[in-house]
Structure 1
Amino acid sequence: MGDIKEEVQHKNLTIRFTRTNLTFNEYSVFIDAVCAGWIRDGITWLRNRFGEKYRGHMGLLGNALILCAVKTLCIDTVPEPSLIEAKKRLQADVAVLGAEELLIVEVKLHHERYLEFPVVET
């Protein structure tokens, strides 16, 4: 399994987790929940964290799905990174770290079936 990293150096870039309304540990627990079952565990985690009526834009869920998939490929990732090089800064959804490569991913999760999150029985 790959690791979810809070901060790494990649060549001349500092890549750092920057989500403001979740700690890195909360985000890691959320990713593990999504990996276990995105509807049952992932959405339940979101509702427990943000309230029963959470109807987010699904950005967190989309990012976690990508992070979970990449993690199973034994590749390290940084969720919601800032990429900092000297005075330049770039925000992204996911940074996938190869030995020499760096893949920056912007995630858009679209859904046709649900106008809101499905009801989850616990």
Structure 2
Amino acid sequence: MSRLVSLSIRLVDRPVDVVAAQRGELTSAEAFLSKVQSWFDTLQTHHGERWAVYHNDTLEFTAILFALWQLGRTACVPGDSCLGTVQQLMPHVDGFIGEFPINEAISTYKEKNEPVVGSWRVLPTDL
């Protein structure tokens, strides 16, 4: 097997290369890195090592994932963002980022369980 190329180095070294094509729009490495930087800046202001990540937009999802990795954090990637999934994740993650029905999940969780200790960090769905 050939040697793996570091993705972050490739993105920086070739900023005009197309890294994504979505709904007829092409995204350059430079534009993608800008998204990563926005998510990085948002995440940097929030503590927590383990983050649940879900986003229907694959480009946003990938930018969030890269931002988490750059911060040395762990991404928990569920298969969906359904209420039951969110409730099951709550004891195992420090926060949620992307598209989650978190307010509804917290209300239902409080009704069915012991009082919630601490609070889950909820970050915006789009920057």
Tell me the TM-score normalised to structure 1 length: 0.34
Tell me the TM-score normalised to structure 2 length: 0.33
Higher fraction of helix: 2
Higher fraction of strand: 1
